[in-house]
Chains A and B, each alone.
Chain A
């Protein structure tokens, strides 16, 4: 498989409602795709489908190793941020610095603000070494500095042959292909 993510004729049903059907998409190295659409149109579900956390009703999903950043923090609240991130990825230090949270290394996760938490989940993705990044509303709670830092991390990742699939209704920094879910 040359592509990092491939959907072939995928249909997804959640809670009895058909969110989308006959969805084809392919993401190769260096490609970034933004999924947009109104609330409830299935953006997050599409990401969870790509992550392998949900099963498609119909069709096939193939993917390479992926990392997901969504609303859930999945970091132990009582641990210092550096140690909590090290549980998931061997050496998060460089990524923490590039996202501007390096100075929070010794601060317990429960004291972080929501923007800092968002940066921490993005740091986990960026430090994972996975070729495919799945970002659910990556700009939520991020300030201008945060989205700029995220933009340069994404650009670097694409340059290194990775791919990014992001769900957002805001415009993301960089050049993105666009997929609109109708809802």
Chain B
């Protein structure tokens, strides 16, 4: 059932709007040279940080479709009746969300880095940091989606919740502290399913 759920969510992600966060990510990266000016040295210095801000804001876009549609439509209830624990549902959804979000983001980082005049070394470091950080980011997005599911103005609430919690990830990612970033990402990935499961159970009426 878990495997089927991952396959289903990935399929829905790609037939749905998986490209939307990526387009948003590229758009934000495009805005930076306009906002800062064409100074290549300055751009390449702020490039990695700017890409992370773009990635974090892009990660907000899919939040509303991660949990809420399945809650409203009774899919979460049916999964419970099939004896799938809410924690397992959350893990499956984190995996599926990462698969529809992270690989495309890693690809989009290549053209985005060119826009910011980043050299190959800097691009490689940013790709590594994104590869390590995105599982934590995906897990955090899912937990936030579960906590805000069913609330009015859930999208805005989700942003207010997710961005502060992503700050540790951001700090270690742009500081090239790979091991500390991995530790934070692991902590988020390991904790998020339990938070999401409690939220899913509490949202049942």
Contacts and interface: CB of A to CB of B under 8 A. Distances in A.
Interface in A54-78: 54, 65-68, 70-74, 76, 78
A49 B74 CA distance: 15
B39 interface: no
Nearest to A52: B80
A72 B15 contact: no
Contacts of B41: none
Secondary structure dominating the interface of A: loop
Chain A: number of interface residues, binned into ranges: 20 to 34
Contacts of B15: 78
Contact of A53 (B4, B73, B80): B80
A59 to B, nearest CB: 19
A87 B82 CA distance: 11
A69 B55 CA distance: 41
Contact of B74 (A66, A70, A78, A87): A70
Contact of B78 (A14, A71, A88): A88
A51 interface: yes
The residue in B12, B74, B75, B204 that gathers the most chain A C-beta atoms within 10 A of its C-beta is B74
B8 A87 contact: yes
Interface of B: 4, 8, 12, 15, 72-75, 77-78, 80-83, 204-205
Q: Give the residue among B8, B15, B74, B78 with the most A Cβ atoms within 10 A.
A: B78
A89 to B, nearest CB: 9
Given A65-B83, A72-B72, A53 B77 contact: yes
Given A53-B204, A65-B83, A74 B77 contact: yes
Contacts of A71: 74
18 contacts: A14-B205, A48-B204, A51-B80, A51-B81, A52-B81, A53-B77, A53-B80, A53-B81, A65-B83, A66-B81, A68-B81, A72-B73, A74-B74, A74-B75, A74-B77, A74-B78, A76-B8, A78-B15
Contacts of A88: 78, 82
A181 B75 CA distance: 28
Interface string A113-157: 000000000001000000000000000000000000000000000
A92 to B, nearest CB: 14
Given A48-B204, A76-B12, 4 more contacts: A51-B81, A53-B77, A65-B83, A68-B77
Nearest to B15: A78
Nearest to B204: A53
Most chain A C-beta atoms within 10 Å of own C-beta, residue among B4, B12, B15, B82 = B82
